Amino acid sequence: MAAPTAAKEHLYKILVIGEFGVGKTSVIRRYTEGVFSPNYKLTIGVDFALKTVNWNDNTKINLQLWDIAGHERFGQMTRVYYKYAIAAIIVFDLTRPATFDSVLKWLNDVHSKVMLANQEPVPVVLLANKCDMENATVDSRVLSEFCQNNNIVNWFETSAKNNINIDDAMNFLIDYILKLPTESQQPNEHISLFNQQNQNTFEDSFEMDNKKTKLKSDCC
What is the domain partition of the chain in residue ranges? 8-210
Residue 91 and residue 60 in contact, taking contact as beta carbons nearer than 8 Å = no
Q: Is the model's pLDDT at 17 over the cut of 70? A: yes
Q: What pLDDT score does 68 carry?
A: 86
- Residues 158, 129: Cα–Cα separation, whole Å: 5
Give the pTM. Answer: 0.83
Collect all residues with Cβ–Cβ distance below 8 Å to 102 and sequence separation of at least 6: 18, 19, 73, 92
DSSP, res 187: P
- Whether 67 and 49 have beta carbons less than 8 Å apart is answered as yes
pLDDT of residue 216: 37
Which one of 3.20.80.10, 3.40.50.300, 3.40.120.10, 3.30.460.80 gives the CATH number of domain 8-210?
3.40.50.300
pLDDT value, residue 201: 43
Closest residue by Cα to residue 53 from 109, 11, 106, 92: 11
Cα 152 to Cα 43, 106, 149, 157, distances in angstroms = 25, 12, 8, 14
As a whole-number percent, the residues of the chain with pLDDT over 90 amount to: 60
Task: Give the pLDDT score at 46.
Answer: 72
